Chain A
Amino acid sequence: MDLSTHYLGLRLPHPLVVGASPMVDNLDTVRRLEDAGAAAIVMHSLFEEQLSIEHRATVYHMEIYADAYAEARSYFPEASDFALCPCDYLNQIRRIKQAVAIPLIASLNGVSCGGWIDYARQIEQAGADALELNVYYVATDPIESSAEVEDRVVDTARQVKQSVNIPVAVKLSQFYSSIPNLCSRLEEAGVDGLVLFNRFYQPDIDIDSLQVVPKIQLSDASELPLRLRWLAILSSCLRVSLAVSGGVHVAVDAVKSIMCGAEAVQMVSAILRNGPRHLTTVLTDLRQWMDEHEYSSIRQMKGSMNLLRCPDRGAIERANYMHLLQTWREPV
């Protein structure tokens, strides 16, 4: 049975990839993930905005009281040069590449063009096999139009793509009014793949203290259908690699994703819940399912249920929504 797949031009033995998560911070975990059979690993994001803010904050606080009082020239030692390259991140890439043989996909978070794009080059030099550009952005400004937001995404992706030779994927959120249009512009800009979808950190509210509490919620199965729809739509009209991220927990989820057009299936929450061995289980189950259902390769099922090929196109499009409404019954 041939489980292999091509994702971002990388030949993977199977589609199961560990998605962006803090698991990469620990080399032992990384090794265990490889041992469990991961086809590739995505690093957590390097946040350009955060780096820039941190540098500015440090400089500000070091300077604000300097030369202000007769007895103190300053309140901090003269800093040697800051590690302006994201050294920690780059070193971790190097360490992981030394520790494991599977492809490593780095992740960079940036929402606008800027000097940070140089980080992409540094990531490539550190040895990453591919780069996932995470355009995590919450639009809050009523003056900013959706076109402006999308233009920025495309420009950023183009610049990153131009600055490196390794494949580049863009990880998107689902909050765009015309996802196919945006994605085809990204394809034109040269990106090699798309990851559907980013999951935002969700704010929660403490009702006693009346404070907003940032929260990371692990995904659950309910998140998959949305992704399946967009995989099915996009795989029917784009040539770029597609990966699913969010809601894949068991082998059947992977099968669905692949059938809708995914070339790679990213998993995080299920591994965080169950440990790296879960990956082995999913892989075994996938193989078993394919065996039972007489599939000989991933290639065979890839995209079989996309918009072009699925028997009921309307169910994926708007009709799906209508149909659900009509069949929904008040719970008893």
Chain B
Amino acid sequence: MKNHEGGIGTGVETATGRRVMVTLDGNEAAVSVAYRLSEVAAIYPITPSSTMGELADEWSAKGRANIWGTIPRISQMQSEGGAAGAVHGALQAGALTTTFTASQGLLLMIPSMYKIAGELLPFVMHVSARTLATHALSIFGDHQDVMSCRQTGFAMLCSNSVQEAHDMALIAHVATLRGRVPFVHFFDGFRTSHEVNKIQELSDDDLRELMDDEAVAAFRRQAMTPDRPVLRGAAQNPDTFFQAREACNPFYEDCPRHVKEVMEQFAARTGRRYGLFDYVGDPQAERVIVLMGSGAQTAEQTARWLCDHGQRVGVLKVRLYRPWSNEDFVRSLPPCVSRVAVLDRTKEPGALGEPLYQDVVCALREARETGLIDHEPSVIGGRYGLSSKEFTPAMVKAVYDELDRPHPRRRFTVGIMDDVTHLSLDVEQGFEILGEEVVQCIFYGLGADGTVGANKNSIKIIGEETDNWAQGYFVYDSKKSGAITISHLRFGPEPIEAPYLIGKARFVACHQFHFLERYDVLEHAATGAVFLLNSTMPADRIWEHLPVGVQRAIIEKDLQFHVIDAYQVARDSGMGGRINTIMQTCFFGISGVLPREQAIEQIKKTIQKTYGKKGREVVDRNFAAVDNALAHLQQVNYPKQITASESPPLISHKAPDFVQRITGVMLSNHGDLLPVSAFAVDGTWPMSTARWEKRNLATEIPVWDAELCIQCNKCAIVCPHAAIRAKVYNPDALAGAPETFKSIDYKAPDLKGDKYTIQVAPEDCTGCRLCVMVCPARDKSNPRHKAIDMEPQAPLRDRERDNFDFFLTLPDPDRSRLRLDVKGTQMLTPLFEFSGACSGCGETPYIKLLTQLYGDRILIANATGCSSIYGGNLPTTPYCTNADGRGPSWANSLFEDNAEFGLGMRLALDKHREQAIELLLRMAGVIDRPKLIDELLNAPQSNDAQIAAQRARVEALAVRLMEIDSPESSRLTLLADYLVHKSVWIVGGDGWAYDIGFGGLDHVLASGRKVNVLVLDTEVYSNTGGQQSKSTPIGAAAKFASAGKSQPKKDLGLIAMSYGSIYVAQVALGAKDVQTVKAFQEAESYPGASLIIAYSHCIAHGYDMAFGADQQKLAVESGYWPLYRYDPRRTDAGESPLQLDSPAPKTPLADYMRNETRFRMVEQQDPDRFRELSAAAQRQIQRRYRLYEHLARMATDEKPAAGG
């Protein structure tokens, strides 16, 4: 099997024939081998390892065989714990099995890992090593996860590069079968897993050559089978456990030998030689750095450079970390080493040192005592690179410099500035080791403009169609909408071993003009570099539109400056808004990396290969884009003087100090410069910071026609970003309003005489158009014109910014005077605004509504996923406070434990309240305010007015308590606030609620405790990229169900209803907002647990999100998403608790399905299958509706309660 689908590939001659060169990332490099050497894989998606499982699934779906000619079976599980359990079972039953994971996922596998190792089951799991969630979550790379497994009994083999991820995968799979010890094969998350590099591909023959048939047969013979039954997993007791546990020792003693042997065979076959520990540098080095992972490559290249410049230094790369072979380690060190620095990419607070450091110290001590060495070098230990923090040659040099000092620091960090514990090393700025022969290019793109995809193509073209080597690494935004991507590409005549970002680029492209206002895109441009800018301005007019910093950089660095109006070319070529092919063509046109004609031919070949099977028209349009691109590329002859005036600061001077000092620095992409002291010690972060980041993403924003508006506030309730707001207010508040501020008489009778305004936040709107689509008010003479229309943002920006600022000064209406329905809730300030969610997100309107209703009194437990990312991914925070300083208190624990996390909050709140009551009763005499105490204990708190009254009572109590000097008084003072009702909302997506967190969710719902659960149901794992969940419906394509899911969606609501004691509602805001608001209110008022399942349209459904509400309507009308509320309180009145809020299915399901790519792609791949699946889905909908109808008609036998 030719495993890689890349180009024809350049090749190199080796002793065993011509080797195919391919360009791929570390994940693909690893899974390429793992797939071909496995029969079964059980997986669960988690960043940054998800790609490995996805590729395995993709290949399996396409029928690719492993080296034994059979197609591996890939199974997605409900959690990593589940995946590990399935792996364990598959191994016990004798199948060659693998899995892929990272971070928290790996932690969930640990219990099974002990079992697998304890049973000596040969197995390799591939881990793209990632940070663990501590004070914060991070998706990026370090060794915290794998270091948590070093005690499990797994062998641990580390890869330092993409090539090694490929090679070590093979070595691990062979070695585990020979020695029976299971392996964790790991490499750095993102830096290696996502780096694209050119590597020599291992062929199936290579794999077969190393694979040991006898070892496979031996493994098969150990399989559980009733034909040769055995018993495993017995319980042992004090008499035998210890001895039995020691019985495996010989396998661990032999494991390093097996690995060495395989490495030697591997070298003979491929010419690539690896050792358990590999030393590089001066053979007489005195100073040596010991480390593993991608940092080792940087250290190696730096050490070579320093050696070339006269220094005696070296690097010891640890490959087989467990089992540790001390003899191999010691023999690898140069004999005259006197000082060793051990670098750990992890942190173990409170330990004597990080794990590798401890191992090295212990190893050297033992080596001296056993006579392996005569003298023991001194050892220092440092941390580097947590959460993919850059690790550069300059940092390596800093470590060598430290070792050279008379008294090196025993503990240090490198790569940050630690001004608290002063552990960090000083790093020389501008230190570079890469030569001129390496072409370095940086591209600034928009997530949705295809820049990264085009760059991956370019790397393939250069790497696979020429003799050049190529490398690509991609930096992504923390926001999902309007996200920036920064691509770092290197090309050169020698292999590129530089796993760090580009410092000096010979080519810089900026694919979006507005980035110039926000980012220093020319920061890394080298003198004389080529600068390509996508702009609507032609060459003769562009200069006057450039910000001052850009003009200065262009002049000072003497850049060759080119512009192209790529969006115009895209439109002319029928490409819509996709500029990727155009910018790619321009890159090849002016960078000189390849001859122009050759490059264009290759681009077209790639287009044909990518789209040939997706329609001729798609290919033709891309070809036209290529042909048109160069014709529209213009060189700019710029003046040699700056003509622009200074740009305004990125962050308003009105912003709070923290935002100016910290957030602003992070927003400008310079967060690396912030010192340790800038941060809270426990991960606490201020609220309300998103409002200071003015992203200006929308090219068009909604404009309000006050006369036409019917004041329904539907635009506000659907807005995912709280960027269009409504308010009713006293006319007096208009004093000082900007001239263009719009205001009109409020039409409803209840607040007669008040004024009304709809106001857009022009710089925060993402331009999704949901508000326009739901606006029901049309101009009778020109129905195309609605009360909300989209108009270009640029001319409106300044005016509407002032208007929005003024709008924010208008006081909120008195909540007690408002009817909190769809309209009323939208008059209230949302306490969740301007999140980083996708433009048009279907989830965030629910959260916003929640904060408008109850934001001043809720704790939110948020499961990991999209909602935790847009809810809490820095630099900015969207949750905010009201005028009183109250607001939702939000926290994310993990993915799997969120329901329990929320329940814990409830337990604490209840306990606090209980203690407050106890103290209040105990101190009643001393306090001596019987009426106040009685009301504090018994007054109702079911609406805003009552809550406000209770808060006033608590304040009165606090005043009284200040007069009482006693320990009990102090305690009650701290607890009195808990006498005011507070509620817990447990929020998460379907991946959490239906899959990984379902057990906990079920338990928490069953507890009867007063918690509210909001499931934002996108019917797929959205955050990790569209893997199927148990919420995915029949007929939808998702990863791990690429041919369309054949099993129906789990009916979570019905499961919850089966308890009979849980409030359950299924809602769709875009279809029936009234019902949604009602459900939130009933859930909140319900005295037990509640569950709201909220339909959330999502980019993973594949259509323009502007039509989100329309699709929601179709979902409801077709019966796909029936609306209901199940309120056990109705039972008391003798009614059925279930009330259906949507009528019987009336439109065909196909009308709904055909609008969404997730269904349509199934049809386009296999129309017959689609017909079957959609018919099955239609039948299931009818059946389900009949069942619901039946339940809704079933009145209870119970007599209505008296007076009920």
The chain A residues found within 8 Å of chain B, CB to CB, are 51-52, 54-84, 87-88, 91, 114-115, 210-211
Q: Top 4 closest A-B pairs, CB basis?
A: A68-B447, A72-B1025, A77-B1042, A55-B615
Q: Which residues of A contact B476 (CB under 8 A)?
A: 68-70
A329 to B799 CA separation, bound complex (whole angstroms): 65
- Our pick among A66, A67, A82, A211 for the contact of B1164 (Cβ within 8 Å) is A82
- Our pick among A64, A73, A83 for the contact of B1166 (Cβ within 8 Å) is A83
When the two chains form their complex, are residues A54 and B51 in contact, meaning their CB atoms are under 8 A apart?
Answer: no
Q: Which residues of A contact B48 (CB under 8 A)?
A: 70-71
When the two chains form their complex, are residues B1041 and A91 in contact, meaning their CB atoms are under 8 A apart?
Answer: no
When the two chains form their complex, are residues B1026 and A75 in contact, meaning their CB atoms are under 8 A apart?
Answer: yes
When the two chains form their complex, are residues A79 and B1042 in contact, meaning their CB atoms are under 8 A apart?
Answer: yes
When the two chains form their complex, are residues B1026 and A80 in contact, meaning their CB atoms are under 8 A apart?
Answer: no
Q: Which residues of A contact B614 (CB under 8 A)?
A: 55, 58-59, 79, 81-82, 84
B639 within 8 A of A: no
114-144 of chain B: CB within 8 A of chain A:
139
Q: Which residues of A contact B778 (CB under 8 A)?
A: 210
B576 within 8 A of A: yes
When the two chains form their complex, are residues A82 and B1165 in contact, meaning their CB atoms are under 8 A apart?
Answer: yes
When the two chains form their complex, are residues A75 and B1099 in contact, meaning their CB atoms are under 8 A apart?
Answer: yes
A69 to B48 CA separation, bound complex (whole angstroms): 11
B57 within 8 A of A: yes
A88 to B1167 CA separation, bound complex (whole angstroms): 6
Given A61-B1102, A83-B1165, is A76 in contact with B615 using a C-beta cutoff of 8 Å?
Answer: no
A75 to B1099 CA separation, bound complex (whole angstroms): 8
- Our pick among B480, B617, B1037, B1164 for the contact of A69 (Cβ within 8 Å) is B480
A210 to B838 CA separation, bound complex (whole angstroms): 31
Q: Which residues of B contact A62 (CB under 8 A)?
A: 1102, 1157, 1161
A60 to B1103 CA separation, bound complex (whole angstroms): 9
Q: Which residues of A contact B444 (CB under 8 A)?
A: none
1004-1058 of chain B: CB within 8 A of chain A:
1022-1026, 1037-1043
Distance in angstroms from A215 CB to nearest chain B CB is 16
When the two chains form their complex, are residues A67 and B1161 in contact, meaning their CB atoms are under 8 A apart?
Answer: no
When the two chains form their complex, are residues B1167 and A76 in contact, meaning their CB atoms are under 8 A apart?
Answer: no
- Our pick among A55, A67, A76, A91 for the contact of B1026 (Cβ within 8 Å) is A76
**CB nearest neighbor in B for A60:** B576
- Our pick among A63, A77, A78, A83 for the contact of B1041 (Cβ within 8 Å) is A77
Q: Which residues of B contact A77 (CB under 8 A)?
A: 54, 57-58, 61, 1026, 1037-1042
Q: Which residues of A contact B485 (CB under 8 A)?
A: 67-68
When the two chains form their complex, are residues B1026 and A63 in contact, meaning their CB atoms are under 8 A apart?
Answer: no
- Our pick among A58, A68, A115, A211 for the contact of B1157 (Cβ within 8 Å) is A58
Q: Which residues of A contact B448 (CB under 8 A)?
A: 64-65, 68
Q: Which residues of B contact A58 (CB under 8 A)?
A: 614, 1102, 1157, 1160-1161, 1164
200-242 of chain B: CB within 8 A of chain A:
none
A81 to B609 CA separation, bound complex (whole angstroms): 11
When the two chains form their complex, are residues B453 and A67 in contact, meaning their CB atoms are under 8 A apart?
Answer: yes
Contact mask for chain B residues 763-782; partner A; CB cutoff 8 A; 1 contact, 0 none: 00000000000000010100
Given A59-B615, A62-B1157, A69-B483, is A80 in contact with B1023 using a C-beta cutoff of 8 Å?
Answer: no
Given A67-B453, A73-B50, A76-B1157, is A59 in contact with B611 using a C-beta cutoff of 8 Å?
Answer: yes
Given A55-B614, A57-B1157, A58-B1161, is A72 in contact with B1026 using a C-beta cutoff of 8 Å?
Answer: yes
Interface centre among B485, B869, B1158, B1164, by most chain A C-beta atoms within 10 angstroms, is B1164
A58 to B615 CA separation, bound complex (whole angstroms): 10
When the two chains form their complex, are residues A67 and B452 in contact, meaning their CB atoms are under 8 A apart?
Answer: yes
Q: Which residues of A contact B38 (CB under 8 A)?
A: none
A83 to B1024 CA separation, bound complex (whole angstroms): 28
A/B interface sample: 23 pairs, CB < 8 A = A51-B615, A56-B621, A57-B1160, A58-B1157, A58-B1161, A59-B614, A61-B1102, A67-B450, A68-B446, A71-B50, A72-B50, A73-B1025, A74-B1026, A75-B1102, A77-B1037, A77-B1038, A77-B1039, A79-B1165, A81-B614, A82-B614, A84-B615, A210-B780, A211-B783
When the two chains form their complex, are residues B480 and A80 in contact, meaning their CB atoms are under 8 A apart?
Answer: no
When the two chains form their complex, are residues A91 and B1167 in contact, meaning their CB atoms are under 8 A apart?
Answer: yes
Q: Which residues of B contact A83 (CB under 8 A)?
A: 1164-1167
Tell me the number of A-to-B contacts counted with CB atoms below 8 Å.
160
B1168 within 8 A of A: yes
When the two chains form their complex, are residues B615 and A71 in contact, meaning their CB atoms are under 8 A apart?
Answer: no
Distance in angstroms from A319 CB to nearest chain B CB is 44
A77 to B1025 CA separation, bound complex (whole angstroms): 9
**CB nearest neighbor in B for A90:** B1167
A14 to B1164 CA separation, bound complex (whole angstroms): 39
When the two chains form their complex, are residues A71 and B1158 in contact, meaning their CB atoms are under 8 A apart?
Answer: no
Contact mask for chain B residues 445-457; partner A; CB cutoff 8 A; 1 contact, 0 none: 0111011110010
Q: Which residues of B contact A55 (CB under 8 A)?
A: 614-615, 617-618, 1164
Distance in angstroms from A50 CB to nearest chain B CB is 11
Q: Which residues of A contact B477 (CB under 8 A)?
A: 69
Given A60-B576, A66-B453, A67-B452, is A52 in contact with B1165 using a C-beta cutoff of 8 Å?
Answer: no
When the two chains form their complex, are residues B1042 and A71 in contact, meaning their CB atoms are under 8 A apart?
Answer: no
B613 within 8 A of A: yes
B752 within 8 A of A: no
A61 to B1106 CA separation, bound complex (whole angstroms): 13
When the two chains form their complex, are residues A54 and B1160 in contact, meaning their CB atoms are under 8 A apart?
Answer: yes
Given A58-B1161, A77-B61, A210-B778, is A70 in contact with B139 using a C-beta cutoff of 8 Å?
Answer: yes
A329 to B1164 CA separation, bound complex (whole angstroms): 58
B245 within 8 A of A: no
- In the complex, besides A58-B1160, A61-B1157, A77-B57, 20 extra interface pairs with C-beta distance below 8 angstroms are A52-B617, A55-B615, A60-B578, A63-B578, A68-B476, A69-B480, A71-B869, A72-B1025, A72-B1026, A74-B1025, A75-B1022, A77-B1026, A77-B1037, A77-B1042, A79-B1037, A79-B1161, A84-B614, A87-B1167, A88-B1167, A88-B1168
When the two chains form their complex, are residues B58 and A75 in contact, meaning their CB atoms are under 8 A apart?
Answer: no
When the two chains form their complex, are residues A69 and B1039 in contact, meaning their CB atoms are under 8 A apart?
Answer: no
**CB nearest neighbor in B for A64:** B448
Q: Which residues of B contact A210 (CB under 8 A)?
A: 778, 780, 783
When the two chains form their complex, are residues A65 and B447 in contact, meaning their CB atoms are under 8 A apart?
Answer: yes
441-478 of chain B: CB within 8 A of chain A:
446-448, 450-453, 456, 474, 476-477
B176 within 8 A of A: no
Q: Which residues of A contact B62 (CB under 8 A)?
A: 80
When the two chains form their complex, are residues A69 and B783 in contact, meaning their CB atoms are under 8 A apart?
Answer: no
Contact mask for chain B residues 49-85; partner A; CB cutoff 8 A; 1 contact, 0 none: 0110010011001100000000000000000000000
Distance in angstroms from A75 CB to nearest chain B CB is 4
Distance in angstroms from B459 CB to nearest chain A CB is 12
B1100 within 8 A of A: yes
**CB nearest neighbor in A for B446:** A68
A114 to B614 CA separation, bound complex (whole angstroms): 16
Interface centre among A61, A68, A210, by most chain B C-beta atoms within 10 angstroms, is A68
Distance in angstroms from B396 CB to nearest chain A CB is 26
Distance in angstroms from B720 CB to nearest chain A CB is 15
A24 to B47 CA separation, bound complex (whole angstroms): 49
When the two chains form their complex, are residues A56 and B780 in contact, meaning their CB atoms are under 8 A apart?
Answer: no
When the two chains form their complex, are residues B613 and A81 in contact, meaning their CB atoms are under 8 A apart?
Answer: yes
A62 to B1102 CA separation, bound complex (whole angstroms): 7
Q: Which residues of B contact A67 (CB under 8 A)?
A: 447, 450-453, 456, 474, 485
A56 to B1166 CA separation, bound complex (whole angstroms): 17
Q: Which residues of A contact B309 (CB under 8 A)?
A: none
A265 to B1165 CA separation, bound complex (whole angstroms): 38
B190 within 8 A of A: yes
A56 to B58 CA separation, bound complex (whole angstroms): 22
Contact mask for chain B residues 873-899; partner A; CB cutoff 8 A; 1 contact, 0 none: 000000000000000000000000000
Q: Which residues of B contact A57 (CB under 8 A)?
A: 1157, 1160
A210 to B782 CA separation, bound complex (whole angstroms): 9
Q: Which residues of B contact A69 (CB under 8 A)?
A: 447, 476-477, 480, 483
When the two chains form their complex, are residues A91 and B1168 in contact, meaning their CB atoms are under 8 A apart?
Answer: yes
A210 to B1171 CA separation, bound complex (whole angstroms): 34
Distance in angstroms from A321 CB to nearest chain B CB is 37
**CB nearest neighbor in A for B577:** A64
